[in-house]
Amino acid sequence: MAIRTHLPRLRPLSKRIALPILRPYHSYDHPPPPGPFTPTESSILSAAIPHIPSHGFTHTTLSLGTKDAGYIDASTNLFPNGTFSLVHYHLYTQRLALAKHEHILSPALKEREKVPGVGWKVKALTWERLMANREIIHRWQEALAFMAQPSHMPTAISELSSLSDEIWFLSGDTSVDTSWYMKRASLSAIYAATELFMTTDKSPDFIDTREFLNRRFKDVQIVGGTMGNVAQWAGFTAHAGLNVLRSKGVRI
Amino acid sequence: MALYACSKRASYLVAHLPVYDFLAPSLLQAPRASHQIRRLNVTKRCFTAAGSSGNQSTSPSQPSRTPKSGPDAASNPAPLNKPLTQAQRDFLTSALRVNQAGELAATLIYTAQTPPIVSSHPHLRPLMKHMYDQEAAHFSTFNSLMAKHRIRPTAMYPVWTLAASALGWGTAIMGREAAMACTEAVETEIGGHYNGQVRVLLEMAEQMEKDGEEIGGELRELIDTIRRIRDEELEHLDHAVENDAKQAVPYELLTGVIRAGCRGAIWVSERV
Amino acid sequence: MASRSVFRSLWRASKLHPLPTRAPRCFSNSTRLAESPTQPSNHEKTTHFGFETVPEAEKESRVAGVFSNVAASYDTMNDFMSLGIHRLWKDHFVRSLNPGSSSTVDSPGWKMLDIAGGTGDIAFRLLDHATDINNSPSSTIIISDINPSMLAEGKKRSLATSYANSPRLSFLVANAEDLNTIESNSVDLYTVAFGIRNFTNKEKALREAYRVLKPGGVFACLEFSGVTNSLFDAVYKRWSFSAIPLIGQLVAGDRASYQYLVESIEKFPKQEEFRDMIKDAGFMVPGKGWEDLTGGIAAIHKGIKPVEKP
């Protein structure tokens, strides 16, 4: 019955899916599982990343990376996804690098300053992640083109949702109800839109992108607030009606 | 929400009423309930025996530790810490997700059941409050575990909210016995479900010990927490039976349907 | 009604192991037919020749016999075996390898080695890709085969290309298990297409491949493999064992060679097993180690020789 169903379930549910697992159990005692890249792949890709501003997301960049890491041109065959591995590696490493922003996660407070809330941290971390693209933003449209290919789209979407989850978690979000989904979905949409806007932004220090981001956050706040009010109103009305009936003696 | 406000009011009133000793109803209903309690104690012992037989193979539990955060774990490094396997992580994820969904449903069932039952049977108020309080504590325990371990809550959250409220309200309207039968059915399923989880976790712990790995305070605490919660759920089961759950009129049908529904909800929440 | 009986027969076919033919093998060029024992003696090491078990020493000559027979009609044979799709497979194989690619304009080009590539199918494609697409006129290739008739066919075909009598293309008669004329750590790309299943000792060939490749060099193998979908597998096996030897009989007058070819596909290790053999030889495999083609009828296996860290 219920007991029997659990025992054979130590087979991984995700055996058939080649995707990186979206919602892993995050353990504090045990080290995290190995990422999507082997040590060799990581060494080649990390050597290739500095060449992206000059050569873009192309096979040449990958070749330069293999050369720098001590391999030969033929070693680019190590990557079954070819040049998309560069995009994937960039997304993966920049997502993990978010945890290093100590000045956002545990800010040193001056006297009588308020502790920054979750919302402030989310906005700050999103901006940091966008700025991590600034070196390669002139090449980012090539990466977006790669991500739009049907064979690569699942990985791209999975990375986007992992990024959104990472930002919320690092900001200290502890919601575990339906708002969990709403928060991550809205942040994913905001981030994707802003990233796309940033590829065409030529303003100094990306001021226009900053304003764009603030406007998107404000929109979400308004929508979220309105929906919350509607839900609250509906709940109160229903409950009030129920109580009125009970006061009239209806046994419900 | 508003539902919680209602129960808060109820709890305020309860605090000012004499507390009935619902924890020992056998004193009030000794002859009828005795063989039922004996049967229940047997089943309870079966559950705990299954858990404890697995326990004998593990090392004696250490004194209770506070939840280990990252820095704490780093300062006391355990030998040979390998990452958890994909299967183990999947299991832990879906187990905690289902548990949270289950406790959500339980709190909502009690919240919905309390007003109709208490209005016709005021002496049950302390019992309902006690059970609700325990379920609320379980719910917050699992909520914090989910947030801590970054587990996605079930996407069926709003569906379970509606279903549980409807179930609680519906069975309460049918009468006290039906409400108690509903509690009995749900707690039986949940008790068995938690028992299965404890069994798998103990197997996991045994396997890790055999491989020479350190199990870690996290997993040990999880096992203890689920054990404790399982025992409390079974206690609710006993209360329900002592309050004439078996007297409900369409007993077989009611409990059958509710148990099947629970199993279906568990299956769905594990995956979605 | 009729469909049910068709399904039942297909299902039975998937369970059946087709019996090896007992028809005499007509190896007109083989001199050892009269001496070949039907039962190998107990103290010799044996291997499989299709579904037959033969002493290891004998397999080489029997394979030689098969290929000498089919050399002239190799392409026709492949067309029948794969309904013409083998051309697409070979094109995809070469494209995915991207030979001749480089980060600099004046690179020395790739040194490639095509094993069991007598007729030059893969070699010419590799050179074309390197020259036309990757602008690498200094990439070279050695075509190696154990069978001189196949190599002669390749030489004949090279005359129609621009590589005939150029230093970019050379031919070598050699056993893949012992490439003693090729230096260690000298080859960028080692390819073997539809050849490795005929080797007597695949592990030895893999170790030789490991030896001749440069650190970072690529071992690539295109070979028939296991169909992943069981229903499709049943249909495919039925086709292979019934239709192909018959077509060989009708078209080339050589049923036995085609029977051998089909049986050797069946005996070849499937995807995971072959990937593990490649790893055991010391290679790193990309991703899961292989790529299925046309539902698993063929598969491309790749391995990269690791670089020693200082």
**Per-residue pLDDT at C92:** 96
pLDDT tens sequence across B46-77 = 444 433 433 333 333 333 334 334 444 344 44
User: What one-character DSSP code corresponds to residue C264?
Assistant: H
The token pair at B157 is 């959250």
Query: Which residues on B lie below 8 Å from A9 (Cβ)?
Result: 87, 90-91, 200
For residue C101, the number of C-alpha atoms closer than 13 Å in the C-beta half-sphere is 22
**Per-residue pLDDT at A228:** 81
Quick check: B147 and A175 CB within 8 A?
Answer: yes
Quick check: C216 and A70 CB within 8 A?
Answer: yes
**Per-residue pLDDT at B145:** 94
Q: Give the burial string for B52-85 (b: 16+ CB within 10 Å, else e).
A: eebbeeeeeeeeeeeebeeeebeeeeeeebeebe
CB < 8 Å from B in window 151-190 of A = 165, 169, 173-178, 180-181
Determine the average pLDDT of the residues in C110-117.
Answer: 92
Is pLDDT at C260 greater than 60 in this prediction?
yes
Give the E-state strand segments of chain C in sequence order: 46-49, 52-55, 111-115, 140-145, 169-173, 187-193, 213-224, 290-293, 298-304
**Per-residue pLDDT at C211:** 95
Determine the average pLDDT of the residues in A178-182.
Answer: 90
Is pLDDT at A145 greater than 90 in this prediction?
yes
Instruction: Using CB atoms, pick whichever of A63, A71, A78 lies closest to residue C102.
Output: A63
Give the residue carrying structure tokens 């990375």. A159
Determine if residue C209 is labeled as part of a ligand binding site: no
- Among B80, B81, B91, most A C-beta atoms within 10 A, so best to mutate, is B91
Q: Please, which residues have CB within 8 angstroms of residue A75's CB and are 6 or more apart in sequence?
A: A44, A66, C216, C217, C218, C304
- Residue C256's closest CA among C17, C5, C29? C29
Query: Which residues on B lie below 8 Å from A18 (Cβ)?
Result: none
Whether A52 contacts A65, CB under 8 Å: no
Of the pLDDT bands very low, low, confident and very high (cuts 50, 70, 90), residue C239 is: confident
Q: What is the mean pLDDT of each run of 10 residues along chain B (272 residues)?
A: 47 45 41 40 41 38 39 44 85 93 93 90 91 93 94 93 92 90 91 92 90 85 93 89 86 92 93 88
Quick check: B144 and A2 CB within 8 A?
Answer: no
User: What one-character DSSP code corresponds to residue C235?
Assistant: H
**Per-residue pLDDT at C11:** 54
Determine if residue B233 is labeled as part of a ligand binding site: yes
Instruction: Using CB atoms, pick whichever of A63, A78, A79 lies closest to residue C103.
Output: A63
Q: Please, which residues have CB within 8 angstroms of residue C67's CB and are 6 or more apart in sequence?
A: C118, C147, C149, C150, C198
pLDDT tens sequence across B240-257 = 888 888 888 888 999 999
Quick check: A25 and B263 CB within 8 A?
Answer: no
Q: Please, which residues have CB within 8 angstroms of residue B188's CB and are 6 or more apart in sequence?
A: B237, B255, B259
For residue A93, the number of C-alpha atoms closer than 13 Å in the C-beta half-sphere is 15
- Measured in whole angstroms, the distance separating CA A222 from the mean position of its chain's CA atoms is 22
**Per-residue pLDDT at B214:** 80
Residue A113, helix vs strand vs coil: coil
- Among C103, C110, C304, most A C-beta atoms within 10 A, so best to mutate, is C103
**Per-residue pLDDT at B19:** 41
C103 → chain A, closest CA residue: A60
Is pLDDT at C177 greater than 60 in this prediction?
yes
Percent of chain A with pLDDT over 70: 90
Of the pLDDT bands very low, low, confident and very high (cuts 50, 70, 90), residue C12 is: low
Determine if residue B135 is labeled as part of a ligand binding site: yes
Percent of chain C with pLDDT over 70: 84
CB < 8 Å from A in window 106-145 of B = 115-116, 119-120, 143-144
Residues paired with residue C170 on neighbouring β-strands, in sequence order: C142
Give the residue carrying structure tokens 């709190």. B107
Listed by start position, the domains of chain B span: 94-271
The whole-angstrom distance between C29's CA and the closest CA on chain A is: 40
The whole-angstrom distance between A139's CA and the closest CA on chain C is: 18
For residue B162, the number of C-alpha atoms closer than 13 Å in the C-beta half-sphere is 3
- Residue C102's closest CA among A71, A45, A49? A71
**Per-residue pLDDT at B66:** 41
ipTM: 0.81
**Per-residue pLDDT at B80:** 53
pLDDT tens sequence across C55-81 = 887 887 887 777 776 666 777 777 777
CB neighbour class for A203 (10 Å; exposed up to 12, middle 13-18, buried from 19):
exposed
User: What one-character DSSP code corresponds to residue A1?
Assistant: -
Whether B121 contacts B176, CB under 8 Å: yes
**Per-residue pLDDT at C3:** 57
CATH class of C84-225+268-304: alpha beta
Lowest pLDDT segment from A127-131, A154-158, B52-56, C186-190: B52-56
The whole-angstrom distance between A46's CA and the closest CA on chain C is: 16
The whole-angstrom distance between C31's CA and the closest CA on chain A is: 43
Decide: C and A in contact? Rule: 3+ Cβ pairs under 8 Å. yes
- Measured in whole angstroms, the distance separating CA A10 from the mean position of its chain's CA atoms is 29
Q: What average pLDDT is seen over chain A? A: 87
Alpha carbons C284 and C88: distance in angstroms, whole number: 27
The token pair at B248 is 């409900």
Quick check: C287 and A76 CB within 8 A?
Answer: no
- Better-scored residue on pLDDT, C42 or B239: B239
- Measured in whole angstroms, the distance separating CA C191 from the mean position of its chain's CA atoms is 9
Question: C255-267 and C74-82 are packed helices; what angle lies between their axes, rounded to 10 degrees?
Answer: 50
A232 → chain B, closest CA residue: B1
Is pLDDT at A112 greater than 80 in this prediction?
no
Decide: C and B in contact? Rule: 3+ Cβ pairs under 8 Å. no
**Per-residue pLDDT at B196:** 92
Determine if residue B103 is labeled as part of a ligand binding site: yes
- Interface contact A24, partner B, CB < 8 A: yes
Residue C281: CB atoms within 10 A of its CB come to: 20
Alpha carbons B248 and B180: distance in angstroms, whole number: 8
**Per-residue pLDDT at B67:** 38
The token pair at C172 is 């070598």
For residue B182, the number of C-alpha atoms closer than 13 Å in the C-beta half-sphere is 26
Quick check: C103 and A76 CB within 8 A?
Answer: no
In angstroms, how far is the first alpha carbon of chain C from the final one?
A: 69
Q: Give me the sign of the Cα torsion angle B109, B115, B117, B122.
A: positive
The whole-angstrom distance between A20's CA and the closest CA on chain C is: 13
Q: What are phi and psi of A238, to 5 degrees?
A: -60, -45
Determine the average pLDDT of the residues in A207-232.
Answer: 89
User: What one-character DSSP code corresponds to residue A171?
Assistant: T
Is pLDDT at A139 greater than 90 in this prediction?
yes
Quick check: B153 and A177 CB within 8 A?
Answer: yes
Listed by start position, the domains of chain C span: 84-225+268-304
- Better-scored residue on pLDDT, A193 or B5: A193
Determine if residue C175 is labeled as part of a ligand binding site: yes
Q: How many CB pairs under 8 A join A and C?
A: 61
Q: What is the 3-state secondary structure (H, E, C) of chain B?
A: CHHHHHHHHHHHHHHCCCCCCCCCHHHCCHHHHHHHHHHHHHHHHHHHHHHHHHHHHCCCCCCCCCCCCHHHHHHCCCCCCCCCCHHHHHHHHHHHHHHHHHHHHHHHHHHHHHHHHHHHCHHHHHHHHHHHHHHHHHHHHHHHHHHHCCCCCCCCHHHHHHHHHHHHHHHHHHCHHHHHHHHHHHHHHHHHHHHHHHHHHHHHHHHHHHCCCCCCHHHHHHHHHHHHHHHHHHHHHHHHHHCCHHHCCCHHHHHHHHHHHHHHHHHHHHHC
Query: Which residues on A lie below 8 Å from C220 (Cβ)?
Result: 77
Residue B32: CB atoms within 10 A of its CB come to: 11
